[in-house]
Amino acid sequence: MRPFQRAIIRTLALWALPTLARVGFAAARLLYQHPDLLLRSGNLEQALLLLSIAGPDYTPSILRGLGASVGSHCIIHSPLTLHNAAHPLAHLIIGDDVHIGRGVLIDLSDHVYIEPTVTVSMRTQILTHMNVGRGPLSSSFYPPKTGPVRLLRGSYIGAGAIILAGVTIGPTAVVGAGAVVTRDVPADTVAVGVPARFVPMWHPHRPSANSQPLLSTHFPRRQL
Protein backbone atom coordinates (compact mmCIF):
# COMPACT_ATOMS: atom_id res chain seq x y z
CA MET A 1 0.00 0.00 0.00
CA ARG A 2 1.35 3.39 -1.02
CA PRO A 3 1.81 6.22 1.49
CA PHE A 4 -0.97 8.36 0.02
CA GLN A 5 -3.39 5.41 0.25
CA ARG A 6 -2.51 4.93 3.92
CA ALA A 7 -3.04 8.64 4.51
CA ILE A 8 -6.51 8.50 2.90
CA ILE A 9 -7.51 5.45 4.99
CA ARG A 10 -6.21 7.11 8.16
CA THR A 11 -8.16 10.28 7.41
CA LEU A 12 -11.37 8.35 6.73
CA ALA A 13 -10.93 6.34 9.90
CA LEU A 14 -10.40 9.44 12.02
CA TRP A 15 -13.57 10.94 10.58
CA ALA A 16 -15.73 7.81 10.48
CA LEU A 17 -15.10 6.35 13.94
CA PRO A 18 -16.27 9.37 15.96
CA THR A 19 -19.26 9.72 13.66
CA LEU A 20 -20.23 6.08 14.13
CA ALA A 21 -19.75 6.43 17.86
CA ARG A 22 -22.03 9.47 18.00
CA VAL A 23 -24.66 7.63 15.96
CA GLY A 24 -24.39 4.61 18.27
CA PHE A 25 -24.73 6.72 21.41
CA ALA A 26 -27.72 8.55 19.97
CA ALA A 27 -29.41 5.26 19.08
CA ALA A 28 -28.70 3.89 22.57
CA ARG A 29 -30.18 6.98 24.23
CA LEU A 30 -33.26 6.68 22.04
CA LEU A 31 -33.80 3.07 23.14
CA TYR A 32 -33.13 3.92 26.79
CA GLN A 33 -35.79 6.61 26.70
CA HIS A 34 -38.26 4.62 24.56
CA PRO A 35 -37.80 0.87 25.25
CA ASP A 36 -41.30 0.32 23.89
CA LEU A 37 -39.75 0.61 20.42
CA LEU A 38 -38.31 -2.87 20.96
CA LEU A 39 -41.60 -4.16 22.34
CA ARG A 40 -43.37 -3.29 19.11
CA SER A 41 -41.54 -6.20 17.52
CA GLY A 42 -42.83 -8.44 20.32
CA ASN A 43 -39.37 -9.11 21.72
CA LEU A 44 -39.35 -8.50 25.47
CA GLU A 45 -36.00 -10.24 25.89
CA GLN A 46 -34.25 -7.63 23.75
CA ALA A 47 -35.89 -4.85 25.73
CA LEU A 48 -34.74 -6.44 29.00
CA LEU A 49 -31.17 -6.55 27.68
CA LEU A 50 -31.13 -2.77 27.96
CA LEU A 51 -31.09 -3.25 31.74
CA SER A 52 -27.73 -5.00 31.39
CA ILE A 53 -25.94 -2.07 29.79
CA ALA A 54 -27.79 1.10 30.78
CA GLY A 55 -26.43 3.10 33.68
CA PRO A 56 -28.37 4.45 36.66
CA ASP A 57 -29.35 7.55 34.68
CA TYR A 58 -31.51 5.47 32.35
CA THR A 59 -32.50 2.27 34.18
CA PRO A 60 -35.51 3.79 36.02
CA SER A 61 -36.95 5.20 32.79
CA ILE A 62 -36.44 1.86 31.02
CA LEU A 63 -38.34 0.06 33.78
CA ARG A 64 -41.17 2.60 33.59
CA GLY A 65 -41.28 2.21 29.82
CA LEU A 66 -41.68 -1.55 30.27
CA GLY A 67 -44.60 -1.13 32.66
CA ALA A 68 -42.99 -1.23 36.11
CA SER A 69 -43.91 1.28 38.79
CA VAL A 70 -40.76 3.20 39.80
CA GLY A 71 -40.73 6.18 42.15
CA SER A 72 -38.63 9.31 42.00
CA HIS A 73 -34.96 9.80 42.88
CA CYS A 74 -34.14 6.08 42.52
CA ILE A 75 -30.61 4.88 41.79
CA ILE A 76 -30.75 1.54 39.97
CA HIS A 77 -27.46 0.21 38.67
CA SER A 78 -26.89 -2.18 35.81
CA PRO A 79 -26.64 -5.01 35.14
CA LEU A 80 -30.12 -5.70 36.50
CA THR A 81 -31.62 -9.12 35.69
CA LEU A 82 -35.39 -9.61 35.64
CA HIS A 83 -36.28 -13.32 35.65
CA ASN A 84 -39.70 -14.70 34.59
CA ALA A 85 -40.69 -11.24 33.43
CA ALA A 86 -43.78 -10.58 31.32
CA HIS A 87 -44.89 -7.38 29.67
CA PRO A 88 -46.01 -5.17 31.23
CA LEU A 89 -43.77 -5.43 34.28
CA ALA A 90 -46.71 -4.87 36.63
CA HIS A 91 -45.26 -7.25 39.24
CA LEU A 92 -42.44 -4.79 40.03
CA ILE A 93 -43.30 -1.86 42.33
CA ILE A 94 -40.44 0.39 43.50
CA GLY A 95 -40.93 3.39 45.77
CA ASP A 96 -39.07 6.69 46.04
CA ASP A 97 -35.37 7.02 46.94
CA VAL A 98 -34.61 3.32 46.43
CA HIS A 99 -31.04 2.18 45.76
CA ILE A 100 -30.41 -1.05 43.85
CA GLY A 101 -26.79 -2.13 43.37
CA ARG A 102 -25.03 -3.89 40.51
CA GLY A 103 -25.81 -7.46 39.54
CA VAL A 104 -29.15 -7.77 41.35
CA LEU A 105 -31.57 -10.50 40.19
CA ILE A 106 -35.32 -10.04 40.66
CA ASP A 107 -37.70 -12.93 39.98
CA LEU A 108 -41.07 -11.61 38.80
CA SER A 109 -43.08 -14.83 38.99
CA ASP A 110 -45.02 -12.93 41.67
CA HIS A 111 -45.06 -9.35 42.93
CA VAL A 112 -41.98 -7.64 44.33
CA TYR A 113 -42.70 -4.55 46.44
CA ILE A 114 -39.72 -2.34 47.31
CA GLU A 115 -40.87 0.51 49.53
CA PRO A 116 -39.26 3.97 49.77
CA THR A 117 -35.69 4.40 51.09
CA VAL A 118 -34.86 0.70 50.76
CA THR A 119 -31.31 -0.30 49.79
CA VAL A 120 -30.72 -3.54 47.88
CA SER A 121 -26.98 -4.16 47.67
CA MET A 122 -25.09 -5.71 44.78
CA ARG A 123 -25.63 -9.34 43.74
CA THR A 124 -28.76 -9.72 45.86
CA GLN A 125 -31.30 -12.29 44.60
CA ILE A 126 -35.01 -11.75 45.21
CA LEU A 127 -36.97 -14.92 44.39
CA THR A 128 -40.75 -15.20 44.20
CA HIS A 129 -41.11 -18.84 43.19
CA MET A 130 -39.76 -22.29 43.96
CA ASN A 131 -39.86 -25.18 41.49
CA VAL A 132 -37.57 -28.20 41.90
CA GLY A 133 -38.51 -29.58 38.48
CA ARG A 134 -40.22 -32.82 37.48
CA GLY A 135 -38.48 -35.16 39.90
CA PRO A 136 -40.11 -36.96 42.84
CA LEU A 137 -39.31 -34.08 45.20
CA SER A 138 -41.86 -31.86 43.47
CA SER A 139 -44.75 -34.24 44.19
CA SER A 140 -43.75 -35.12 47.75
CA PHE A 141 -41.73 -32.58 49.72
CA TYR A 142 -41.40 -29.45 47.59
CA PRO A 143 -44.42 -28.73 45.38
CA PRO A 144 -44.10 -25.64 43.18
CA LYS A 145 -45.12 -22.41 44.85
CA THR A 146 -45.03 -18.68 44.34
CA GLY A 147 -45.25 -15.80 46.79
CA PRO A 148 -44.69 -12.05 46.79
CA VAL A 149 -41.63 -10.46 48.39
CA ARG A 150 -41.97 -7.19 50.30
CA LEU A 151 -39.06 -5.00 51.34
CA LEU A 152 -40.62 -2.46 53.69
CA ARG A 153 -39.62 1.15 54.20
CA GLY A 154 -36.03 1.84 55.16
CA SER A 155 -34.83 -1.78 55.17
CA TYR A 156 -31.32 -2.70 54.05
CA ILE A 157 -30.32 -5.83 52.13
CA GLY A 158 -26.61 -6.68 52.26
CA ALA A 159 -24.51 -7.81 49.32
CA GLY A 160 -25.19 -11.30 47.98
CA ALA A 161 -28.23 -11.95 50.17
CA ILE A 162 -31.00 -14.26 48.93
CA ILE A 163 -34.63 -13.48 49.75
CA LEU A 164 -36.94 -16.46 49.18
CA ALA A 165 -40.56 -16.44 47.99
CA GLY A 166 -43.22 -15.07 50.30
CA VAL A 167 -40.82 -13.24 52.64
CA THR A 168 -41.43 -9.77 54.07
CA ILE A 169 -38.51 -7.71 55.35
CA GLY A 170 -39.81 -5.36 58.05
CA PRO A 171 -39.24 -1.60 58.27
CA THR A 172 -35.62 -0.60 59.02
CA ALA A 173 -34.60 -4.25 59.25
CA VAL A 174 -31.13 -5.31 58.09
CA VAL A 175 -30.28 -8.46 56.12
CA GLY A 176 -26.59 -9.29 56.41
CA ALA A 177 -24.36 -9.97 53.44
CA GLY A 178 -24.77 -13.51 52.09
CA ALA A 179 -27.78 -14.34 54.29
CA VAL A 180 -30.50 -16.67 53.01
CA VAL A 181 -33.83 -15.39 54.31
CA THR A 182 -36.54 -18.06 54.47
CA ARG A 183 -39.07 -16.32 56.76
CA ASP A 184 -40.32 -12.85 57.59
CA VAL A 185 -37.87 -10.49 59.29
CA PRO A 186 -39.47 -8.25 61.97
CA ALA A 187 -38.89 -4.51 62.05
CA ASP A 188 -35.63 -3.27 63.61
CA THR A 189 -34.09 -6.73 63.41
CA VAL A 190 -30.85 -8.00 61.87
CA ALA A 191 -30.99 -11.27 59.90
CA VAL A 192 -27.67 -13.05 59.37
CA GLY A 193 -26.47 -16.49 58.31
CA VAL A 194 -27.66 -19.49 56.29
CA PRO A 195 -30.50 -19.94 56.95
CA ALA A 196 -30.89 -16.48 58.43
CA ARG A 197 -31.29 -16.13 62.20
CA PHE A 198 -32.46 -12.98 63.93
CA VAL A 199 -30.48 -10.62 66.13
CA PRO A 200 -32.16 -7.63 67.86
CA MET A 201 -30.90 -4.34 66.49
CA TRP A 202 -29.55 -1.68 68.80
CA HIS A 203 -31.17 1.64 67.97
CA PRO A 204 -29.62 4.82 69.42
CA HIS A 205 -33.00 6.57 69.61
CA ARG A 206 -34.85 3.62 71.16
CA PRO A 207 -32.53 2.25 73.89
CA SER A 208 -33.49 -0.94 75.66
CA ALA A 209 -32.04 -2.66 78.70
CA ASN A 210 -31.93 -5.95 76.79
CA SER A 211 -30.39 -4.69 73.54
CA GLN A 212 -26.78 -3.78 72.93
CA PRO A 213 -24.87 -2.55 69.89
CA LEU A 214 -23.88 -5.32 67.49
CA LEU A 215 -20.34 -3.93 67.56
CA SER A 216 -19.16 -2.28 70.72
CA THR A 217 -17.18 0.91 70.35
CA HIS A 218 -15.42 0.30 73.68
CA PHE A 219 -12.10 -1.55 73.61
CA PRO A 220 -10.06 -2.42 76.71
CA ARG A 221 -6.95 -0.30 77.11
CA ARG A 222 -3.79 -2.16 76.20
CA GLN A 223 -1.42 -2.67 79.12
CA LEU A 224 2.10 -1.46 78.38
CB 199 within 8 A of CB 214: yes
CB 159 within 8 A of CB 175: no
CB 113 within 8 A of CB 93: yes
CB 11 within 8 A of CB 19: no
Boundaries of every domain in the chain: 34-200
Long-range contacts (CB closer than 8 Å, 24 or more residues apart) made by 176-182:
177/121
Whether domain 34-200 has CATH 3.30.2230.10: the reply is: no
Q: How far apart are CA 196 and CA 178, in angstroms?
A: 9
pLDDT of residue 70: 95
Q: How far apart are CA 61 and CA 83, in angstroms?
A: 19
If 0-12 CB within 10 Å is exposed, 13-18 middle and 19+ buried, where does residue 73 land?
exposed
pLDDT in tens, the chain (224 residues): 566 555 655 554 444 445 444 444 455 555 555 565 555 555 677 778 888 888 888 899 889 888 899 999 999 999 999 999 988 899 999 999 999 999 999 999 999 999 999 999 999 999 999 887 777 877 777 888 899 999 999 999 999 999 999 999 999 999 999 999 999 999 999 999 999 999 877 665 555 544 444 443 343 444 44
pLDDT of residue 44: 76
pLDDT of residue 2: 65
- DSSP reduced 3-state for 92: strand
If 0-12 CB within 10 Å is exposed, 13-18 middle and 19+ buried, where does residue 155 land?
buried
pLDDT of residue 193: 94
